[in-house]
Chain A
Amino acid sequence: MKSVIEILKEIRPEFDFAASGDFITDGMLDSFDMVTLVAALDKNYGISIPGTDIVPENFQNVQTIEVLLRRSGAKI
């Protein structure tokens, strides 16, 4: 199973996600990247993140993404 950071790097390999506290403000993820990320996370963790949770505040950093994943039933 891939880590969140590994999945983020596959989507936007040009960025250092570990060095950012807010992917949205730093311009590292746009709305389409969030969609691509959700599809990858769903597949990787065998879950379906609710559509109503696909909002920028849940994708600000690795911690918020992991909170979202746990809430969606992922075992991480």
Chain B
Amino acid sequence: MKLVFHRKRIAGTLVVVPANERSFVADMKNFNFPESRSLKLKEVMGFDKRRVVGPGVCVSDLAVFGLEHLFERGWLKREEIDALIVVTQTPDYLIPGTSCIIHGRLGLKRDMISLSISQACTGFLIGLIQAFMMLEQESIKKVVLVNSDVLSRKVSPQDRNIYPLVGDACSITVLERDAEDSVIHANVRVDGSRASALTIPAGGMRQPHTLETAKLEDAGDGNLRAKDHLFMDGAAIFNFVQTEVPPLIESLVAHAGTSMDSIDYFLCHQPNRFMLQKLADKMKIPHARMPNNVVEHFGNNSGVTIPTVMTFNLGERLLREKLCVCLAGFGAGLTWAGMLLTIGKFDFNGIIEYK
């Protein structure tokens, strides 16, 4: 579905990462594979360091920490938030939505919208789209978008398919109307028939958590995981990304009436280095214009990867100049989306550590 927005902008982005760092080499002993094979995988995929929360740390803890940071520095005022959108697949509770938890902990005003959305790796784009739609309302002048997941708490340490790549993080993005006549193009797609390719089978209403769902089982490929853990059909997801994302981006660029060459950077979700290199090759985009270094420094932090790749690679530049970028997210659902917009001259932009 093609969408167009006018006169909207990102005012700034703050990424919060846990101070706790784990390394792939240290974790290798947990996997039921020879170290030599794991090391080859490390080299190709870019697995190295990743940031994960300590026991008991939840999405609202990271979000409140980040928002207080913005309040303390005057980059955002509590009372000017007209809408709070929280996108996560690891909520603090099943009920209520995590946006209400954050709202209560921060003491935000009552006369505002609080919305919780269940989305993962496409979540930054879904959140932006929602925020831009809200900003069509005269009464909404500033929207805070929180993307956060603590998926490290839902992966098996003995699952080499998932464990080495998952990181935790939170991003806070402030959206507002743009005084300039800016145009934002977006394209979003979904295929729910492939939902089981990326899922946590137990813990919801369909298969509630029990002692049985917590038991580690041999997945048949050398990995051990429980039904309470995140499962990913890696081959299916890889094929999905390589097949679906390039035509989505090409369609987006054509609809916007621009060209691939006029886009400064392609800031994509960061599943692993190899997948992104193949994606760039397929679209004939130089690797330098599609950064792929988030997994090696932070891990794949789900819906936070796009703010992370943007801030980690372009942070300083985005405080003083504007860049034309194509954002692309893809993952659970299956969902995939792209957005073409100009970003920059942010009021704030950075990465901080949660301790």
Contact = CB atoms under 8 A, between A and B. Distances in A.
Contacts of B235: 31, 55-56
Contacts of B254: none
B234 A51 contact: no
A63 interface: no
A12 B279 CA distance: 27
Interface in B222-251: 222, 234-235, 238-239, 241-243
A38 B242 CA distance: 15
B143 interface: no
B44 A35 contact: yes
Q: Name the residue in B44, B161, B221, B279 with the highest tally of chain A Cβ atoms < 10 Å from its Cβ.
A: B44
A21 interface: no
B274 interface: yes
Nearest to B242: A51
A51 B275 contact: yes
B238 A54 contact: yes
Contacts of B222: 30
B148 to A, nearest CB: 29
A56 B238 CA distance: 13
B317 to A, nearest CB: 28
A35 B45 contact: yes
A48 B241 CA distance: 16
A35 B282 CA distance: 16
B107 to A, nearest CB: 48
B278 interface: yes
A50 B282 contact: yes
B242 to A, nearest CB: 3
Nearest to A34: B235
B242 A39 contact: no
Nearest to A33: B37
Q: Name the residue in B41, B274, B278 with the highest tally of chain A Cβ atoms < 10 Å from its Cβ.
A: B278
Nearest to B234: A31
A58 to B, nearest CB: 12
A13 to B, nearest CB: 9
B37 to A, nearest CB: 8
Contact of A36 (B40, B243, B282): B40
A46 B278 CA distance: 14
Contact of A52 (B44, B45, B243, B275): B243
Contacts of A48: 277-278, 281
Interface in A21-57: 30-33, 35-36, 38-39, 48, 50-52, 54-56
A50 B40 contact: no
Given A48-B281, A50-B282, A51-B278, A32 B242 contact: no
Given A31-B234, A31-B235, A50-B278, A36 B44 contact: yes
A55 B278 CA distance: 14
Interface of A: 11-12, 30-33, 35-36, 38-39, 48, 50-52, 54-56
11 contacts: A35-B41, A35-B274, A48-B277, A48-B278, A48-B281, A51-B238, A51-B278, A51-B279, A51-B282, A54-B242, A55-B235
Q: Which 8 residue pairs across A and B have the least CB separation, nearest first?
A: A51-B242, A51-B278, A48-B281, A39-B44, A31-B235, A52-B242, A36-B40, A36-B44
Given A38-B274, A48-B281, 19 more contacts: A11-B37, A11-B40, A12-B37, A32-B160, A32-B234, A35-B45, A35-B274, A36-B44, A39-B43, A50-B281, A51-B275, A51-B281, A52-B239, A52-B242, A52-B243, A52-B282, A54-B278, A55-B239, A56-B235
